[in-house]
Structures are given as structure tokens and as C-alpha cells.
Amino acid sequence: MRLHPFTPFLLVLATALLAVLLPAPLGPVALLVVVMLVAVATGAWRAAGAAILLSVPLWIFLLLLHGAMRGGEGWQAAVAQGARLTAIIAASLLAYRAFRPARFLDAAASRGWSSGSALLILATLQAAPRLRARAARILEAQRSRGLRVRGRPLGRIGALAPVALPLILQTLGEVDARAMALETRAVGGGRRTALENVRLRWPDHVLLAAAALAVVAAFCWRALW
């Protein structure tokens, strides 16, 4: 099922709103379960795993700060806050996984956005995988020069600088190279032609309507009770 490129990001927004509006601690926990079920159902195991890994330090921090120090209600607050953040992280990773730059550009063109502003958003969204690929290349290059990246923790920390420094410098250089490449490809502020007719279809309508309903219901519940 190919969703409209904007739909996953609107669903992330709805997840964030629901995470704040739903009654704690059961609401955020239920939301986290739903997001994880969606991840499993769509085969996004890695996204779900990455979300859990990223959330572990947050959970430790929250449990120590709220639970261990305040006890009782503190444990509930820690669980609610942890579930909120994990749900938002997992939803964001799921949206990112479904992200297709070319379709996003076509959708933006169909909406009348200038190619410049659409590419600005794209550059931001594409920064992470580019950095990861570049870091892997630098790591391999440094290893071939004898850098030890495995073994004792202190040794690993020592190996960070020879990888991080070239990564930062090369990334700065790539920004210019990328900008130059795009300028030679007539990227500017003009109106771009959409190469594909990207439209909201019934799955988009169903998902967005359900998300909107859930947000409105949660908001009403919050306002009335």
C-alpha cells in the first residue's frame, strides 16, 4: 500500500498530539502498543527495534528521576512519559521508513510548492542516511590504516576522534558539492513539474480521518473531564 508522502508525517503529528492528550498512564501505553503493532504488521521490525533502543536511555532517566525519587505516582509518571516519547520516536521512524524523496517532491509540486522549499525539507530528511553512509566509509578507511575500533571501551572512545573529525569536515564539504549539483540541475524557486500524479487515495483518507477523529475525541475528553 503506497500512501501519499504527506500522510505518514500527518500521522506522526497525530501520534504526538494523542500522546499528550490521552489520559496517563494507560493512554500513552495503549498508544505505544498500537504504534508497535502497526510496526510489526507492516514488517518494520528494524524501525520498532531502533525505537526501543533509542528509548532505553530515556526510560532509565525517567524511572530514576520520577520513580526512584518520588515513588508511587512517580512510577506512573515515568511510565506515561516514557510511553509517550517511545510512541513518538517509533511513529517518526515508521514515517521515515516509508519516505520516498521523489514522491515527496512530486507531491510538493502538485501542491504548488516551489522546488527550492521542497528540496530544503528533503535535504533535512536525507541528512541522516547520508551521514550514516559517510561514517561507514570513513570507518572502513581508518580501519584499513590500522585504527582499532573494537576491544576495550577506552580504545573505542579513542577511535571516535579519527572518525568524527573527517566526518564533520567531509559533511561540510558535501553541503557545497550537493548545492552545486542542484544548481547545475536548474533547482531554483520556480514551479516544478510533477513527474507523477501523487494524490490522496482512499487509504490516506481513512487513516487521516481516523487519526483526526481520535485527536478530536481525546481533546474533547480532556476538555470535558
Partner 1 sequence: MKGLETASLGFQYGEGGPAALDGVSVALASGAVSWLTGAPGAGTSTLLLAACGLAPQYTGGVVSGSCRLLDEDPQTAEGRARLSGRVAYVSADPASQLSGIAETVVREVAFAPANLGWPRERIDLAAGAALDRMEVSHLSSRLPASLSGGEQQRVVIASMLVLSPEVWLLDEPGSALDARGRATLAAILADEARRGALVVVASEDADWLAGFADRLIVMAGGRIVRDGVPADLLADPALAVTGAGSTAVADFARALAERDPAFESGRLPVTVADALERWQ
Q: Which residues bind partner 1 (CB under 8 A)?
A: 100-102, 105, 109, 115, 119, 122, 126, 130, 176-188, 190-195
Question: From the CB of residue 204, how many other CB atoms can be counted at a distance below 10 Å?
Answer: 20
Nearer to partner 1 (CB atom), residue 188 or residue 203: 188
Instruction: State the nearest-atom distance from the C-beta of 7 to partner 1, in Å.
Output: 19
| Cell matching residue 82 | 516514557
Question: Residue 114's beta-bridge partner residues?
Answer: 191
CB 28 within 8 A of CB 36: no
Q: How far is the CB of 106 from partner 1 (least distance, A)?
A: 9
Instruction: Rank residues 36 and 119 by Cβ distance to partner 1 and give the closer one.
Output: 119
Q: Considering only CA atoms, which of 62, 79, 70 is closest in space to residue 28?
A: 79
Give whichever of 84 and 192 is closer to partner 1, judged by the CB atom: 192
Report whether 48 contacts 63 (CB < 8 A): no
Q: Least separation, in Å, of the C-beta of 32 and partner 1?
A: 32
Q: Closer to partner 1 by CB, 144 or 184: give it.
A: 184
AA letter at 50: A
Q: Looking up cell 528540496, which residue turns up?
A: 119
Q: Which is nearer to partner 1, 107 or 215 (CB)?
A: 107
The rounded distance, in Å, linking the Cα atoms of 155 and 138 is 17
Q: Is the torsion defined by CA of 122, 173, 50, 71 positive or negative?
A: negative
- What is the rounded CA–CA span in Å between residue 143 and residue 155? 13
**At its nearest, how many Å lie between partner 1 and the CB of residue 193?**
4
Please report how close the Cβ of residue 181 comes to partner 1 at its closest, in angstroms. 5
